[in-house]
Structure 1
Amino acid sequence: MSVHMVAKKVVQFRMTNASAKRVLAQIAEDSGKVVFTSHAIQRMKQRHITRTQVLNCLRRGLITEAPLRDVHGNWTLRIERYACGENIGCAVAIEDGLERSIVITAFWVTP
């Protein structure tokens, strides 16, 4: 009689702020892994926000809206960081495989 081992896929049901921050910082260290939507690029031009500011936000920001799964299976969240005398905010998605992040939009946060 033989025993067969079946590999089981571990499914993560929730991503914590701490793990999202760690994953985002790691992804943002390689700017080639950060994708900007056309909407994000348009809003960044309109609001005079640079890619460098967004990357710094992803690397060192504070998560202000916890990660939630979207309809595509990605983790979406909001992150903010103080830059150029103001707070910058980004809506970002972490792809399901944790290999890339997608910047959905960027904005200045007003008090």
Structure 2
Amino acid sequence: MEIDSILIIVSCKKVESSQDFDRGVHQRIRNNESTIVSALKEWEKVVDYLRTSPIGSNYDFSRFDDILGIVISPGTVFLNEVEPLEQSDALPRGLRSHMSYSELVSALIKTP
């Protein structure tokens, strides 16, 4: 998605939703957290690469001032720490590096 001169790339990750998760079983919550934390680290590598190489054989992102990455999941995943994306006037408030799909939609609907 594109907001002004910022390209936001999104990686979608599935995490297990089960009765164990709903009941707050520590192992299930920890496994889901590990999945997202790992995805965030991998996605940041992709974002860093695209920032340093904005033109490739099948893409050209050179017109963007910045590239940001978000990892989304179908539902809520509890993480100890999730950094908000660096705020600018162009970005909707509340965008974070990991969000559920519904949180992302809500943030984008609030975009002026």
TM-score range, shorter chain: under 0.3
| Larger relative contact order (Cα-Cα within 8 Å, sequence gap ≥ 6) | 2
Q: TM-score normalised to the size of structure 1?
A: 0.25
